[in-house]
Amino acid sequence: MNTTSRVPTVNPMDALAAFCKAAGEPLRLKILRALSNDSFGVLELAQIFATGQSGVSHHLKVLTQAGLVTSRREGNAIFYRRSLPQGQSTDELLHNALLDTLDAQQVPADIAQRIRHVHGQRAQASQDFFERMAGDFQSRQDLIAGLPQFRDSLLALLDSLTFVASATAIEVGPGDGSFLAELSSRFQQVRALDNSPQMLELARQTCVRHGLDNVLLELADALDDDIEPADCVVVNMVLHHFAVPADALCHLAQLVKPTGSLLITELCRHDQDWAKQACGDLWLGFDQDELALWADAAGLIPSESLYLGLKNGFQIQLRHFAKPDSRSTLTHR
């Protein structure tokens, strides 16, 4: 007797019908438009579209069944984002055409305003955390991944890059300033940007203690303020604190001069929800392909990558993203 199980196949006409059904409702199309460069939870989408949570959940279920959105769990919440077609089949070309058509549409002013409000709530929660916990910063950072756990690998990546003698650097979110001494010895001028006065004061104390005369401390928002670009921009364990990481990466790319480099140290995706409360994380790490996709959209070229496994179960990714013509001698891994 043949006991081989058969994998159920999806009838192409059924799949097409599900796609057309999902794309045939105005609110579902508006949800897809809002998810263009972001991910939202059900409560956030209900707030954005001024409608009930149960209705939003139903629409997301239909979109998910049609393969138009996918979800990921962030602690106790589930966030939804677009599914991106990868191939050139008729279905995938239709999917691409739908997304291109939606992205060509202007987001209505009232919806755009509510999206900004949701982003503002996320950003404020992150800033409030650092204002409250600045005095306990290092011990909380060490719960997951303190600088000593990735410093040597990051320096190996940094030192594999070639910069002119007059090159400048920016560190976004320098924390207590522990990495500024390394940048100070390698660049003519370093700027440290932070939107938290409490955290910037910790960095200032470090600069005074080590006599870092070529480091300028700026109370600034790296995503909004008009900031002069640098040859090298370093972002250590900061991206998961941004309200909209994909959008943040686009802004960070603008801080990099042509032929310059963006170095990002980040957590790989994980499921340790306690990090949100203990460390103020808005996002539980990122997939490596996720960062590469966002970098490509920002006009950057994914280059070298290093991955470190920690004893506490977390994994760190150290990523080099180059603006065109920037090159590194470190072998890609």
128 within some domain: no
99 and 157 co-located in one domain: no
Q: Are residues 98 and 161 in the same domain?
A: no
Task: Report the chain (333 residues): mean pLDDT per 10 consecutive residues.
Answer: 52 81 92 92 95 95 93 84 81 88 93 93 82 67 80 96 97 96 98 94 96 96 88 96 93 96 95 81 90 93 91 88 67 37
Of 62, 92, 107, the position where a domain reaches its end is 107
Q: Specify whether 193 is located in the same domain as 293.
A: yes
Spatial separation of the C-alpha atoms in residues 199 and 175, rounded to whole Å: 6
Question: 137 near 174, Cβ under 8 Å?
Answer: no
Same domain, 95 and 192: no
Find tokens 């650097």 and name the residue.
169
Cα dist from 99 to 1, 32, 37, 196, whole Å: 48, 8, 11, 37
152 and 60 inside one domain? no
Instruction: Say if 6 falls within a structural domain.
Output: no
Which pLDDT score, from 0 to 100, does residue 127 have?
78
Asked if 220 and 258 sit in the same domain, the reply is: yes
Q: Report the alpha-carbon distance of residue 247 to residue 115 in Å, rounded.
A: 13
pLDDT given for residue 250 in this prediction: 94
Q: Show the tokens assigned to 195.
A: 């939107």
Considering its fold, how many domains does the chain have in total? 2
Q: Per the domain annotation, does 118 fall within a domain?
A: no
73 and 19 share one domain:
yes
The pLDDT value given to residue 331: 40
Q: Please identify, among 107, 124, 148, the residue that sits at the C-terminal boundary of a domain.
A: 107
d(CA 264, CA 329): 18
Same domain, yes or no: 71 and 27: yes
Read off the CATH number of the domain in which 18 is found: 1.10.10.10
Q: Are residues 307 and 198 in the same domain?
A: yes
Question: Strand order in 69-74's β-sheet?
Answer: 40-41, 77-82, 69-74
- Is the same domain home to 311 and 169? yes
Query: Are residues 296 and 190 both part of a single domain?
Result: yes
> Considering 59, 89, 107, which residue would you say is the last residue of a domain?
107
Domain identity same for 38 and 162: no
Residue 246 in domain: yes
| 330 within some domain | no
Identify whether 261 is part of a domain. Answer: yes
Residue 223 lies in a domain: yes
Is residue 25 assigned to a domain?
yes
CA–CA gap between residue 221 and residue 297 (Å, rounded): 21
Distance in angstroms (rounded) separating the CA atoms of residues 145 and 160: 23
pLDDT at position 204: 97
Which residue's entry shows tokens 């920690």?
310
Question: Would you say 73 and 271 are in contact if contact means Cβ atoms under 8 Å apart?
Answer: yes
Those residues whose C-beta lies under 8 Å from the C-beta of residue 210, and which sit 6 or more positions away, are 180, 181, 184
pLDDT at 8: 54
Residue 250: CATH number of its domain: 3.40.50.150
Neighbours of 267 (CB within 10 A): 22
For residue 82, the enclosing domain spans 12-107
Strand-pair category, 189-194 with 215-219: parallel
Q: Would you state the pLDDT for residue 37?
A: 83
The pLDDT score that the predictor gives to residue 332 is 37
